[in-house]
Each structure stands twice: as C-alpha cells, then as structure tokens.
Structure 1
Amino acid sequence: MRISAAQKTENENRIRAAMDRLLRGEMPPGGKCDIKTLANEAAVDRTAFYGTRTYAHLRAEFERRLQALQQAGDIPDPHEAQIARLKAENAKLKDRLAKSEQTIDELTDFRTQALARLAAQHEETVRLREAALGTSRVSRPPTPRTTVIGTCS
C-alpha cells in the first residue's frame, strides 16, 4: 500500500521526533535506544527502515547519530549506560581483588619467614643456654691458708 507525500512527511516528522527523544535518553518502559523502539515510538512499521525501503535513510541517520554520541562518551540509553558503568566497576573490583590477593600472598610469605627465623633464634638460644649450663662448673681457686708465723720465745 502506497502512502501519500503528506503521510510520508508526517511519518518522517514523527520518526525524527522519536529519534530526538531516544537520543536524549527518554526511553519508554522496556525500550532501548534501537530501531525497534524507534519504530514503536513513531508508530511506523519497523521493516520500513531496512533495505531500500521508505525510511532506510532515517535508520542510517539514527545509527550515525547514536554512534557519534557513543564515541563522545555519551550513552543515551540508561540501560546501556548502566551496563557500561557496571563493567567498569567490575574491572576495578577485579583489579583490586588481584592486588589484595598479591598482598595476602606477600604477607603469608613474610609470616612464614618470620616464624622460621623465630624458630631458628629459639633453637640457638636453647643451644647457647645448654652450652652455658654445661660449662658453668667454674672452679674457684682455693682460699689461701693463713699461716701464723710464730714468735720465738
């Protein structure tokens, strides 16, 4: 079924208005920033956007504008923005977890080395004490005898 020029112009105006709303981030409930939602919002058959159909040039314009926004870092679809934010947060958390695991490994190694050193020091202390007790038989020189030198009478 062919549409008149006036109907085509009216449809294009509705499509452009819906396109602007979607690219500003005004999504309908359950909608995304895509051709399907654009067609639903403009009340136009989605197949009219593909191939050499009536509104294929508007699909190309929509995709070009959407890509330009995404390259500029602006994601109009709140759902897609949330996904991008969560992916970035997930990457940060994975990095943080890896650093924490590395720190735990380093501290575990340090603890093991410290315990080994303490055990070695304890053994050395025990050995030195035993050696000191074993040689503690210090002989004292005998006390000198005092001789009385007698007086001769």
Structure 2
Amino acid sequence: MGQISSAERRRNEEAIRVTMDRLLKGDLPPGGSCDLKTLATEAGVTRTAFYPKKNRDGTTRHGPYQHLAEEFQRRLRALREAGEVVDPRIAQIERLKAKVAELKERLAQREESVVELTTFKELAVSRLAAQHDEIVRLREQAAAFSNVRGLPAARPETAPYGSCS
C-alpha cells in the first residue's frame, strides 16, 4: 500500500472524527459495537491504521491514525467512568447480569425453603407415626382392662352427649 496524499489523509481523519462522535453518542450500526473495528469500518479506513507500525529495522512508529484511536479510547473510557453506557448491548449485558444475580439469590432462597420444608415434613411424619403408635398402645391397654366400658353409640334421632340442644 502506498502513501496517501495529505488531502486524502485529512478527509480520512475528518471521516474518522465524524464517525467517532456518532459512535460515542450511541448511534451504532446493526451488528456493530463501540470499538475500533466498527470505527474503522464505518469511517472507511483500515483498522491497522489505528495501531503502531514496525519499521524494517525493528523500531516502531505511530500508525497514521493512531492518535485518533487513542482519543477514541480516552473518550470512551471517560464516558464509562462517568456512568454512561454508549453501547446498548453492553447495557443489556449489565442488565442481564443483574437479573442473573437476582435469580441466583432467589434460587438459593428457594433451595433453603425446600430444605426447611423437607425437615418440617420429616418431623411432622415422625410425630404422626409416634401419635399413631401411642393411640394403638392405649387402645390395646384399654381393651386389656375389663373394668373399662365403651360408651353406647348415639342414636341418630337424639342429640349427642353434652349437647345443649
């Protein structure tokens, strides 16, 4: 790739700045995000122009638009530190992360409730079994004594014992 003219470089820098302002305002293309790749694509320049280059002797030099990439990253960082979310997908990711955390908390509470209810059920069943065993034992004991008599069954046309009617 050859050298570009200074007029073309100025046009590219202007296109990059316009695109940078648009992306930082949250006007993102479909499928794009607020990053250097989208900036380069939307401005119509190669992404490699934003990064340092190596000379043949191994030394590095600035890429033609590296200063604009650094400005873009600096402005993006400043917006994020100010609490503004430029990329709606990042906002959605943050919202979904918060929802996942909330759901995990609710799940932990439900699991704790299940453990408590299972313990309560086991205790209730064991108490019912103990009460049943006691009732059976008392019935057998009552049947063993001959001086205990059962009450006569109530006739359907009369009121039960102890009734006020």
| Fold-level similarity (TM above 0.5) | yes
4+ aligned runs moved over 4 Å, structure 1 = none
The answer for the alignment partner of 1:2 in structure 2 is 3
Q: Which has the higher contact order (CA 8 A, sep 6+)?
A: 1
Per-residue CA deviation, residues 38-74 of structure 1 (Å, 9 max, x unaligned), is: 0111112211100111111111111122222223332
Count of aligned positions: 138
| CA distance, structure 2, for counterparts of residue 65 and residue 128 of structure 1 | 85
Indicate yes or no: 2:123 matched with 1:122.
no
**Higher mean C-alpha displacement, 1-10 vs 26-35:** 1-10
Question: What is the deviation of 1:95?
Answer: 1.7
Per-residue CA deviation, residues 86-111 of structure 1 (Å, 9 max, x unaligned), is: 22211211221121111111101111
**Higher mean C-alpha displacement, 65-74 vs 18-27:** 65-74
| CA distance, structure 2, for counterparts of residue 132 and residue 68 of structure 1 | 87
Indicate yes or no: 2:47 matched with 1:46.
yes
| CA distance, structure 1, for counterparts of residue 45 and residue 51 of structure 2 | 12
Residue 34 of structure 2 aligns to which amino acid in structure 1? C
The answer for the alignment partner of 2:12 in structure 1 is 11
Residue 29 of structure 1 aligns to which amino acid in structure 2? P
Give the SS at the match of 2:4: coil
| CA distance, structure 2, for counterparts of residue 115 and residue 34 of structure 1 | 62
Indicate yes or no: 2:32 matched with 1:31.
yes
Indicate yes or no: 2:99 matched with 1:98.
no
The answer for the alignment partner of 1:76 in structure 2 is 86
| CA distance, structure 1, for counterparts of residue 7 and residue 23 of structure 2 | 24
Give the SS at the match of 2:112: helix
Structure having the higher helix fraction is: 1
| CA distance, structure 2, for counterparts of residue 11 and residue 43 of structure 1 | 8
Alignment RMSD (CA, Å): 1.7
Give the SS at the match of 2:64: coil
Give the SS at the match of 1:31: coil
Residue 26 of structure 1 aligns to which amino acid in structure 2? D
Indicate yes or no: 2:128 matched with 1:87.
no
Question: What is the deviation of 1:129?
Answer: 2.3
| CA distance, structure 2, for counterparts of residue 25 and residue 80 of structure 1 | 11
The answer for the alignment partner of 1:148 in structure 2 is none
| CA distance, structure 2, for counterparts of residue 93 and residue 85 of structure 1 | 12
| CA distance, structure 1, for counterparts of residue 82 and residue 125 of structure 2 | 56
**Structure 2, gaps ≥5 residues long:** 53-61, 149-165
Give the SS at the match of 1:7: helix
